[in-house]
Amino acid sequence: MMAGLREKKKEQTRRRISEAALRLFDERGYDAVTIAEVAEAAGVAKVTLLAYFSCKDSLVLDAVKEDLAAIVVGREEGRSPLDALREHYRRMASNGTGGMDVEELFTRIRVISSSPALLAGLQHAHASQRAELAAALASTLPGDGLVAQLMAAQISAAVTTLQEAFFHRLSTGVSLEEAGRLLGADVDLAFDLLQHGFSSPQGEKS
């Protein structure tokens, strides 16, 4: 029980730091705020902040990173990488949107979009995640690694497009519940196309 309480306290501290950082970055701009100022606003020591977030950009970007390689590596025996990823995003669509703080989501998007440093950091994170996914896929696909790289690129692009469509719906006033429902259908469409290409019935025009 004590271990559970410690983990809960750590998560509360981490969230308090993240919320303070987003608030300050949104109010004053990412470049104008120091790590020390975020720590002070969150009521923690700078060394404590750095124990939770390794660098300044991680205060914003950690929340948007996804370890797709871990999903592939940790999939159930007999399940294909695409099926494992499809199921992951189906669960996100059906369950993960329920507790989402939409205002916080748009604050994070606004902060990232207004900072060249964060945009560059996000691109670097996406490239690293894509490379890790390709490495995880390499053992399951034929060829010298190029097939895995191409597949990882397609999966990453599909996931990014799904996210953009979800964010766009929310920004136009679609309710979180409805956006989540539509995301579930989008996930199946995206992974049908990844699995079958344009020969899939969903990918053909009538």
pLDDT at 200 over 80: no
pTM, 2 dp: 0.84
Rounded Cα distance, 82 and 195, in Å: 7
Q: Is 35 within the bounds of a domain?
A: yes
Q: What is the CATH number of the domain that holds 13?
A: 1.10.10.60
Determine what percent of the chain is predicted with pLDDT higher than 90: 75
Q: What is the mean pLDDT of residues 91-108?
A: 81
User: Do 113 and 21 share a domain, yes or no?
Assistant: no
Mean pLDDT of the chain: 90
* pLDDT tens digits, one per residue of 133-153: 999 999 888 777 899 999 999
User: Do 95 and 163 share a domain, yes or no?
Assistant: yes
The range of the structural domain enclosing residue 52 comes to 2-60
pLDDT category of residue 98 using cuts at 50, 70 and 90:
low
User: Do 100 and 11 share a domain, yes or no?
Assistant: no
Q: Is 154 within the bounds of a domain?
A: yes
Q: What is the mean pLDDT of residues 158-181?
A: 92
User: Do 71 and 53 share a domain, yes or no?
Assistant: no
Q: Is 118 within the bounds of a domain?
A: yes
Could you report how far apart the first and last alpha carbons of the chain are, in Å?
58
Rounded Cα distance, 47 and 44, in Å: 8
